[in-house]
Amino acid sequence: MYTKLRKADDNNCGIKEEIKLLNGIVNVLIQPIFNVRAQNTLETLGLLEFRLDESNTNILGGFVALTKNCVSYEMSDTIFLSSIPRNVRQLEILGNLNTSEYFNEGWILFNYQCIKLLSELKCIEELTVEGHFLRQTQNFQSFPPNLKHLKVSYFDYYESCYESNNIRFVLNKLTLLMYNNEESRVKWDDVERRIRIDEMLNYLSRYIELDKLEELIVEDGENEPYHYFPSKC
């Protein structure tokens, strides 16, 4: 048992060193792109699979035309959250495809400062997160104050996830993304898909006022999105 754990630790250290090296290279390459023209014209920016250094993150705050920003969980630290441009309306915080099996548990544990900063982003109206992010129920407290649309990917909800909560959030729209990096390779039949959707809604109903939603959308990546209008029923 000790040998296996040691090997896993060695593998993790090796991966972390590779990521650190990659981050350094990408940050050097990206500097010429982070110019005045980009800051004044770029509307959508995806920053996945690497972490911006502090210098580039500070430059990010000057992207006045940016309305949509997509980042990896490991980049969502206090420096990044403090530098999000004021015109960003859509924020996607997603998992890293290459390192999910090693660092997945680390991504879902936002610290108090990150939760506080995210909850104070008045500009954010649409937030996309991995389902694992909501496995830690305190992360519901990170919802921005003007959030209208939450998009969340599927993950296995189980009873130990549940915690008592006296406050439920009111949203205009909720989108369930019934696929993620791992589950997208799994094909569900109609019955199983329905069961998983019900499980997901049952969990989310403890923290979100589902009956007050203007629109509920279910996407499975294959068929046309399903639209439901709870508030009109």
- Predicted confidence (pLDDT) at residue 187 exceeds the cutoff of 80: no
- 77 — phi, psi (to 5°)? -100, -175
Strand order in the sheet with 68-72: 44-47, 68-72, 90-94, 126-129, 149-153, 173-177, 215-219, 226-228
Q: Is 8-227 CATH 1.10.3470?
A: no
- Predicted confidence (pLDDT) at residue 67 exceeds the cutoff of 50: yes
| pLDDT single digits (tens) 50-66 | 788 888 888 999 999 99
C-alpha closest to that of 34 among 104, 101, 83, 89: 83
| pLDDT single digits (tens) 77-134 | 888 999 999 999 999 998 754 444 444 444 444 678 888 999 999 999 999 998 878 8
| pLDDT single digits (tens) 193-205 | 888 888 889 889 9
